[in-house]
């Protein structure tokens, strides 16, 4: 897969998932704290910070996980390093761009990170499975023609 295409797909997926997490956070505050959604706002730099965070996270993904090696020990170590690295990026970007204040906000960012991480893995696996099916179908079509 073209590395630029991979990076852009991952950036879009991660950014979308973070935005989805922000919406879920707003709904949690609405349901459990009774805060009106009208008090919930994002500034322009926070919106850009989400895309920047998505781009940085996808760069780490590109370097660590773009070449699938199977489900061996080495791959597991890369996934662990990947998840810790992403968590550090998200925590640092959250601190820089004031995504959270205090322990409660940090816990919410951590929960959103976990949801985003699982979401991106599931969507990526779905994309790869779909691509695998298309390749196998194309190979079967070529075999049928011969």
Residue 88 has pLDDT above 80, yes or no: yes
Report residue 117's pLDDT band, with 50, 70 and 90 as the boundaries.
confident
Instruction: For residues 28 and 108, give the distance between their C-alpha atoms in angstroms, rounded to a whole number.
Output: 10
- Give residue-wise pLDDT tens across range 7-65: 888 899 888 888 888 888 778 777 877 766 666 677 788 889 989 999 998 898 888 87
Mean local confidence (pLDDT), 105-127: 85
User: Taking the model in full, what pTM does it have?
Assistant: 0.74
Tens of pLDDT, residues 93-107? 988 988 888 888 888
- Residue 5 contacts by C-beta under 8 Å, 6 or more apart in sequence? none
What's CA 143's distance to the chain center, in Å? 38
Q: Hey, where are the domains in the chain?
A: 3-145
- Give φ, ψ of 124 to 5 degrees: -60, -45
C-alpha to C-alpha distances, 143 to 21, 102, 124, 134, 138, nearest whole angstrom: 45, 61, 29, 14, 9
Identify which has the larger pLDDT, 1 or 19.
Answer: 19
Q: Is the pLDDT of residue 66 over 70?
A: no
Q: Give 127's DSSP letter.
A: H
Taking CA atoms, 110 is separated from 16, 84, 94, in Å, by 17, 12, 10
Considering only residues 145 and 120, tell me which one the structure prediction assigns the higher pLDDT: 120
């Amino acid at each position: 897969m073209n590395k630029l295409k991979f990076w852009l797909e991952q950036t879009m997926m991660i950014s979308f998932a973070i935005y989805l997490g922000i919406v879920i956070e707003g709904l949690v505050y609405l349901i459990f704290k009774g805060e009106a959604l009208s008090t919930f706002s994002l500034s322009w730099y926070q919106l850009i910070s989400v895309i920047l965070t998505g781009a940085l996270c996808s760069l780490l993904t590109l370097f660590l996980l773009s070449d699938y090696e199977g489900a061996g020990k080495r791959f597991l170590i890369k996934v662990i390093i990947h998840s810790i690295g992403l968590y550090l990026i998200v925590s640092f970007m959250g601190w820089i761009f004031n995504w959270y204040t205090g322990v409660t906000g940090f816990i919410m960012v951590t929960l959103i990170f976990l949801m985003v991480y699982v979401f991106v893995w599931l969507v990526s696996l779905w994309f790869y499975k779909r691509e695998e099916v298309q390749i196998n179908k194309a190979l079967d079509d070529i075999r049928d023609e011969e």
